[in-house]
């Protein structure tokens, strides 16, 4: 068995004295693990850092085996990511989100989004709205997508400013007014073309955080990744 694909490094763990088990998020083969022989060498370690893009070849005798990776560097992002708190926390959180996907389950849309955000992460304010959208996409891929296209009460497609925590659907300003204290804020940049303000970014993270906690992390007995809060703090 063998395949060749592009991937982003999510992380590694030591295996024996000289090798590592590499975890990639690939374009066509999803989240995939494999052994890299000599992966702890001075030559390989800089390549196998979280956030780096690689061209990977995986091969194994049987498909269900762990298999072996051989990788070539394509895009080195790790050094820039390590320069600031937003980069470090952001790539750590992205890796945690990617690990929510079943192993070897292709998600090409998530892969493309991951590459865009990884490139933007050194600029936290540029990456923040992209990360909010990525969290929405993760919810969608896991079967817990939000419907932000029309008002749950009236069917209106304009003036959408709330989200119902029960139905995960948008609510217009007029329909939501009597219950606004029970509704989540829908930031303008998620409802349509709009400038991205800092308060909207924070509202976006509160929105996605509510549904990630409720539907994804808590049912699995997991806490929200610390890196997520660290990224938000790094925004100031």
Matching residue, tokens 């936290």 = 124
Pair of tokens at residue 199:
């308060």
Whole-angstrom distance, CA of residue 69 vs CA of residue 58:
5
Pair of tokens at residue 159:
């003036």
Matching residue, tokens 């992209």 = 130
pLDDT tier for residue 144 given thresholds of 50, 70 and 90: very high
pLDDT tier for residue 168 given thresholds of 50, 70 and 90: very high
Q: Does position 156 have pLDDT exceeding 90, yes or no?
A: yes
Burial of residue 78, with CB atoms counted within 10 A of its CB: 0-12 exposed, 13-18 middle, 19 or more buried: buried
Give the per-residue pLDDT at 189.
Answer: 96
Give the per-residue pLDDT at 224.
Answer: 96
Give the per-residue pLDDT at 86.
Answer: 95
Mean pLDDT of 213-220: 97
Contacts of 11 (CB under 8 A, 6+ apart): 23, 50, 95
Give the per-residue pLDDT at 38.
Answer: 95
> CATH: 1.20.120.420, 3.40.50.150, 3.40.50.720, 2.40.50.140. Which one for 2-76?
2.40.50.140
- Span 58-116, pLDDT tens digits: 999 999 999 999 999 999 999 999 999 999 999 999 999 999 999 999 999 999 999 99
Domain positions in the chain are 2-76, 80-144+196-234, 149-185
What residues pair up with 103 in beta bridges, in sequence order? Answer: 31
Q: In the chain, what are the helix, strand and coil shares in percent, each to the nearest 5? A: 40, 25, 35
Give the per-residue pLDDT at 138.
Answer: 98
Give the per-residue pLDDT at 95.
Answer: 98
* Bigger pLDDT: 168 vs 194: 168
Longest dimension (CA), the chain: 64
Matching residue, tokens 């992380």 = 11
199 vs 25, 196, 203, 224, 236, CA distance in Å? 31, 8, 6, 21, 11
Burial of residue 207, with CB atoms counted within 10 A of its CB: 0-12 exposed, 13-18 middle, 19 or more buried: buried
Mean pLDDT of the chain: 96
Contacts of 44 (CB under 8 A, 6+ apart): 20, 36, 38
Give the per-residue pLDDT at 236.
Answer: 81
Residue of 180, 179, 181, 155 whose CA lies nearest to 169: 155
Contacts of 183 (CB under 8 A, 6+ apart): 162, 163, 164, 165, 171, 176
pLDDT tier for residue 40 given thresholds of 50, 70 and 90: very high
The backbone torsions φ and ψ at residue 166, rounded to the nearest 5 degrees and listed phi first, read -85, -50
């Amino acid at each position: 068995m063998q395949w060749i694909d592009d991937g982003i490094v999510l992380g590694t763990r030591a295996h024996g004295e000289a090798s590592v088990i590499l975890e990639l998020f690939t374009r066509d083969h999803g989240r995939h693990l494999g052994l890299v022989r000599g992966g702890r060498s001075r030559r390989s370690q800089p390549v196998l850092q979280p956030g780096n893009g690689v061209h990977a070849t995986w091969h194994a005798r049987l498909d269900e085996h762990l298999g072996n990776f051989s990788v070539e560097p394509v895009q080195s992002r790790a050094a820039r990511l390590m320069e600031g708190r937003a980069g470090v926390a952001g790539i750590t959180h992205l890796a945690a989100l990617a690990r929510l996907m079943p192993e070897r389950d292709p998600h090409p849309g998530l892969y493309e989004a991951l590459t865009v955000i990884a490139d933007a992460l050194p600029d936290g304010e540029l990456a923040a709205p992209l990360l909010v959208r990525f969290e929405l996409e993760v919810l969608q891929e896991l079967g817990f997508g939000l419907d932000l296209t029309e008002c749950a009460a009236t069917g209106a497609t304009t003036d959408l400013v709330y989200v119902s925590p029960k139905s995960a659907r948008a609510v217009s300003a007029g329909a939501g007014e009597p219950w606004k204290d029970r509704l989540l804020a829908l930031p303008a940049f998620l409802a349509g073309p709009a400038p991205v303000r800092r308060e909207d970014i924070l509202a976006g993270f509160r929105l996605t955080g509510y549904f990630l906690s409720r539907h994804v992390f808590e049912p699995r007995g997991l806490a929200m990744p610390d890196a997520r809060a660290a990224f938000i703090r790094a925004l100031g």
